[in-house]
Amino acid sequence: MKVCKFGGSSLANAAQLNKVIDIVLADPARRIVVVSAPGKRHSGDTKVTDLLIDLANTALAGENTDRQFGAVVERYAEMADTLKLGGEIVRRIEMDLMDRLAQVATLAPDEFLDLLKAAGEDNNAKLVAEAFVARGKKARYASPKETGMTLTGRFGDAQLDPASYATLARAFSNFEGIVIYPGFFGYTKEGKVATFPRGGSDITGSILAAAVCADVYENFTDVDSVYPVDPRIVSEVREGIPTMTYREMRELAYAGFGVFNDDAVIPAVRARIPINIRNTNHPSEPGTMIVQSRRVVPGTVVGIAAAEGFCNIVVDKYLMNREIGFGRRLLAILEDEGIAYEHMPSGVDSQCVIVKSQALPKEKERRVVQHIQRELKPDSVSIDRDLSLLMVVGEGMCYTAGMFAKACLALASAGINISMVNQGSSEVSFMIAIRVKDRDAAVRALYKAFFG
Ligand code: ASP
């Protein structure tokens, strides 16, 4: 069995929805279909989820909601009209939205916001199920409530209650035909609607794939595959990545690969379900498979990424290496200040701590430096801002001599200075810090060296 998830751009209008139906019907294994709310139809358009947030905020402010209400209904009505589904489904969607809006007086603002946000996928799943039925197929809408998708944590940032896996598995074992399931939300133990973070339909798909032990989790989006480098930086990149491992995906996602969200796929990764990223607009393309392990060609790289927004806390102290507990006390200071650290490369008498710039905003900088000076009495402490981390990733780099040398030579030839390097013992990736201004030139140089 395959679980397929279709994102907002795959469901933005009737033409896209017809492509989705064709894709699902092309393979009888595609039995569970997770849908997002309708997304943007063109670049200047607004996603239905954003229209719903606007509607919720207008209602919370006690203002007239007619315009926002009409804008949401219009998106569904346009699809229902084009697909000739009849007026009934649109009336049901209107009633549903009115019911939700009426709860503004009884719910806390964050609960109300989630109730409205969830309406995007919930109503879309109902409409998509109708569209399948209109094409004479056995399909039904299934709700997160009846199947037991129980969430905990904060509204707008909820997480799955792990006990749900068993409940979901039981519920799905009773279904026949194609099941259309809304992404992005579930219910708290108290029966309130709660949503995952934005983009959360990916999480729903991943959870269902794990719950039913799917053969594959197909995530349909609007790119042919995951590319080894950002095509906005290297426009000539043509070949996508056919297969990569979960570890490679995680490393690339960490460094800003935008196609997938590594948090979202955790349930599928833990259950070792292969993930297939595919394009709704080019369904014949095989896309990118993400799996537990793969055959590798020694000396090859799978992708090159560059992440921004890092800074380096550099602490120098003569004879630091002889001072027992120096590193622990430095990290304890960061813990006290509520700063998560990312990497910690060191020299003989210097210790660097790379942190996300947002974890160490300018206003906090002075206090943190003074705290380090007070407790560790270093010779100097400085903060180096505006760093970009280049990541060269590939299981094939393991035990191969010269990979790092190749990267350094490429950067040196492009006149790019390296601020810091780091490689974990897994050898699945290495990291090079450079100045943000050099990012694009560095990515191009590395791409040419490893893929050119
Ligand atoms: N519709 C939600 C959003 O725009 C969830 C999703 O599409 O995955 O964030």
What CATH number is given to the structural domain containing 164? 3.40.1160.10
Which CATH number goes with the domain that contains 317?
Answer: 3.30.2130.10
- For residues 361 and 429, state if they share a domain: yes
283 lines ligand 1 (CB under 6 A): no
47 lines ligand 1 (CB under 6 A): yes
200 lines ligand 1 (CB under 6 A): yes
Number of structural domains (the chain) is 2
List pLDDT tens digits, range 83-131.
999 999 999 999 999 999 999 999 999 999 999 999 999 999 999 999 9
User: 310 pLDDT band (50/70/90 cuts)?
Assistant: very high
The closest residue, in CA terms, to atom 2 on ligand 1 is: 199
117 lines ligand 1 (CB under 6 A): no
> Which residues neighbour 388 within 8 Å (Cβ) at sequence distance 6 or greater?
306, 307, 308, 310, 433, 434, 435, 436, 438, 439, 442
- The reply to whether 44 falls in a domain is yes
What are the residues facing 435 on neighbouring strands? Answer: 387
**3-state SS, residue 443:** helix
Within 255-299, where are the H helices? 266-270
- The reply to whether 258 falls in a domain is yes
Q: How far is the CA of 232 from the centre of ligand 1 (A)?
A: 23
What pLDDT does residue 81 have? 96
User: 281 pLDDT band (50/70/90 cuts)?
Assistant: very high
pLDDT above 90 as % of the chain: 91
What pLDDT does residue 399 have? 83
- For residues 323 and 283, state if they share a domain: no
User: 425 pLDDT band (50/70/90 cuts)?
Assistant: confident
- For residues 260 and 318, state if they share a domain: no
C-beta of residue 354 within 8 angstroms of C-beta of residue 311: yes
List pLDDT tens digits, range 16-27.
999 999 999 999
Interhelix angle for 88-101 vs 48-60, to 10°?
A: 40
Give the residue from 224, 223, 181 showing the smallest Cα distance to 203.
181
Give the residue from 321, 328, 301, 253 showing the smallest Cα distance to 398.
301
Q: Check pLDDT > 80 for residue 424.
A: no
- The reply to whether 219 falls in a domain is yes
Q: How far is the CA of 140 from the centre of ligand 1 (A)?
A: 21
* Total Cβ atoms within 10 A of residue 108: 10
Q: Report the alpha-carbon distance of residue 292 to residue 282 in Å, rounded.
A: 26
- For residues 100 and 180, state if they share a domain: yes
- The reply to whether 296 falls in a domain is no
- The reply to whether 391 falls in a domain is yes
Q: Report the alpha-carbon distance of residue 369 to residue 313 in Å, rounded.
A: 9
What pLDDT does residue 257 have? 81
Q: Check pLDDT > 90 for residue 254.
A: no
Q: Check pLDDT > 80 for residue 259.
A: no
What pLDDT does residue 366 have? 94
Q: Identify the domain boundary among 266, 291, 316.
A: 291
- The reply to whether 418 falls in a domain is yes
User: 355 pLDDT band (50/70/90 cuts)?
Assistant: very high
**Which of 47, 181, 263 most suits a substitution to test ligand 1, by most atoms within 8 Å of the C-beta?**
47
User: Of the ranges 69-83, 232-246, 256-270, which one carries the lowest mean pLDDT score?
Assistant: 256-270
Q: How far is the CA of 37 from the centre of ligand 1 (A)?
A: 6
- For residues 133 and 14, state if they share a domain: yes
What pLDDT does residue 398 have? 87
- For residues 125 and 147, state if they share a domain: yes
For residues 386-395, give the mean pLDDT. Answer: 94
Domain that holds residue 348: 303-451
Q: Check pLDDT > 90 for residue 374.
A: yes
* DSSP calls for 19-71: HHHHHHHT-TTEEEEEE-----SSTT---HHHHHHHHHHHHHTT---HHHHHH
What pLDDT does residue 258 have? 72
List pLDDT tens digits, range 218-253.
999 999 999 999 999 999 998 999 999 999 999 998
49 lines ligand 1 (CB under 6 A): yes
What pLDDT does residue 255 have? 86
What pLDDT does residue 5 have? 98
183 lines ligand 1 (CB under 6 A): yes
User: 79 pLDDT band (50/70/90 cuts)?
Assistant: very high
**3-state SS, residue 83:** coil
For residues 29-58, give the mean pLDDT. Answer: 97
- For residues 259 and 320, state if they share a domain: no
What pLDDT does residue 261 have? 76
**3-state SS, residue 90:** helix
Q: Measure CA of the first residue to CA of the last residue in the chain; give whole Å.
A: 39
- The reply to whether 385 falls in a domain is yes
What pLDDT does residue 185 have? 98
Phi and psi at residue 142, to the nearest 5°? -125, 140
Q: How far is the CA of 184 from the centre of ligand 1 (A)?
A: 6
Q: Identify the domain boundary among 291, 319, 347.
A: 291
198 lines ligand 1 (CB under 6 A): yes
The closest residue, in CA terms, to atom 8 on ligand 1 is: 199
- For residues 285 and 426, state if they share a domain: no
The closest residue, in CA terms, to atom 6 on ligand 1 is: 199
Q: Check pLDDT > 90 for residue 153.
A: yes
36 lines ligand 1 (CB under 6 A): yes
What pLDDT does residue 159 have? 96
- 3-state DSSP percent of the chain in helix, strand and coil, to 5: 40, 20, 35
Q: CA dist 282 to 14, 35, 43, 209, 279, Å? A: 17, 18, 20, 23, 5
Two tokens at 442?
């560095």
- For residues 387 and 275, state if they share a domain: no
Q: Report the alpha-carbon distance of residue 285 to residue 280 in Å, rounded.
A: 9
pLDDT above 70 as % of the chain: 100
Q: How far is the CA of 240 from the centre of ligand 1 (A)?
A: 25
120 lines ligand 1 (CB under 6 A): yes
303 lines ligand 1 (CB under 6 A): no
Q: Which H/E stretch holds residue 351?
A: strand 350-356
195 lines ligand 1 (CB under 6 A): no
> In this structure, which amino acid lies at residue 445?
A
Q: How far is the CA of 413 from the centre of ligand 1 (A)?
A: 43
Q: Check pLDDT > 90 for residue 262.
A: no
- For residues 355 and 444, state if they share a domain: yes
184 lines ligand 1 (CB under 6 A): yes
345 lines ligand 1 (CB under 6 A): no
List pLDDT tens digits, range 156-207.
999 999 999 999 999 999 899 999 999 999 999 999 999 999 999 999 999 9
- For residues 361 and 416, state if they share a domain: yes
Q: How far is the CA of 96 from the centre of ligand 1 (A)?
A: 19
What pLDDT does residue 51 have? 98
The pLDDT mean for the chain works out to 95
- The reply to whether 348 falls in a domain is yes
User: 427 pLDDT band (50/70/90 cuts)?
Assistant: confident
450 lines ligand 1 (CB under 6 A): no
Q: Report the alpha-carbon distance of residue 393 to residue 416 in Å, rounded.
A: 20
Beta strands in 142-222 (DSSP E): 151-154, 157-160, 178-182, 185-187, 193-195, 216-221
- For residues 216 and 319, state if they share a domain: no
**Which of 198, 207, 261 most suits a substitution to test ligand 1, by most atoms within 8 Å of the C-beta?**
198
List pLDDT tens digits, range 33-43.
999 999 999 99
Give the residue from 307, 311, 341, 306 showing the smallest Cα distance to 327.
341
pTM of the model: 0.91
Q: Check pLDDT > 80 for residue 74.
A: yes
Q: Identify the domain boundary among 291, 322, 342.
A: 291
C-beta of residue 22 within 8 angstroms of C-beta of residue 51: no
What pLDDT does residue 73 have? 98
